[in-house]
Amino acid sequence: MKSELNKLFSDFVSIFFPRECGCCGCVLKYQEKFICVACDFHLPYTNFHEYSDNDTARQLWGKAPVEEACSFLLMQKDSRVEHLIYQIKYNNQPFLAEYFGYLYGLKLIEANAYQNIDCIVPVPLHKSKLRKRGYNQSTYFGRGLSRAMEIPLREDILVRKKATISQTGKGRLDRYENVNDIFDCQATGLPANVHILLVDDVLTTGATIVSAALALLDAADCRVSIATLARA
């Protein structure tokens, strides 16, 4: 009886405030949570966590000595995933990043390569961008991972000390120069040989996350693995 009343109330509310799929924008049905069944079926999940020699890992080879690297989704122009990332970053829907982080965390805890992670560190925004946007989407992604993997999220370890200009339109070399030495690492209190899972929303050239990984490796006695929500 109670569940029927909840459904009726939800249906009534949805008439005036319809919930939309985070990937395609269609109105969600009662049993659908954040994305519709069709999008869930068609999303390009990578399964990169199942093998170390994947495209995300290959992209970072020779740039930062990371242990493992993976991405949950593939992003192409005008795709469901691009729409999802836009909703997360620019349309005040960071809960979508947390939802997908939770889903990915459930997969990572089953993968041998990610069994010994000690903490999760999101790539931080500069305080000026954080004020403007109101949230860090990578932190929300990390929260979902943290909940699923039951591993602490540490937002106090990395600090973005420089506000960089947008990477859009920049070439590969310019992107790396734009994010060179922009992070500080507060490594005090970290145990020796700590294994950090560094997380971000999207991997494009890899310039930002490489800069963050190097900051961690330079300042702390640690190992670093990487996970992103998507890769372009």
Q: What is the pLDDT of residues 93-128, one digit of tens each?
A: 999 999 999 999 999 999 999 999 999 999 999 999
- Domain check: are 33 and 122 in the same one? no
Which pLDDT score, from 0 to 100, does residue 61 have?
Answer: 95
With a cut of 70, list the residues of the chain below it in pLDDT: 1-17, 165-178
pLDDT of residue 162: 85
Of 42, 58, 74, which residue constitutes the final position of a domain?
42
| CA distance linking residue 149 with residue 139, whole number of Å | 15
Residues 96 and 120 occupy one common structural domain: yes
Per-residue confidence (pLDDT) for residue 12, from 0 to 100: 47
Per-residue b/e over 78-87, b at no fewer than 16 CB within 10 Å? Answer: ebbbbbbbeb
Sort 133 into a burial class: Cβ within 10 Å, 0-12 / 13-18 / 19+.
Answer: middle
CATH at residue 209? 3.40.50
pLDDT at residue 18, rounded to an integer: 79
Answer yes or no: do 108 and 190 share one domain. yes
Q: Do 118 and 210 share a domain, yes or no?
A: yes
Number of structural domains the chain divides into: 2
For residue 165, which phi and psi values (nearest 5 degrees)? -80, 165
Do 100 and 28 fall within a single domain? no
What whole-number distance in Å separates Cα of residue 143 and Cα of residue 73? 18
- Whether 150 and 90 map to the same domain: the answer is yes
Residues 101, 186, single domain; the answer is yes
| pLDDT the model gives residue 135 | 97
Predicted structure pTM score: 0.87
Task: For residues 219 and 162, state if they share a domain.
Answer: yes
Instruction: Provide the residue range defining the domain that includes 34.
Output: 1-42
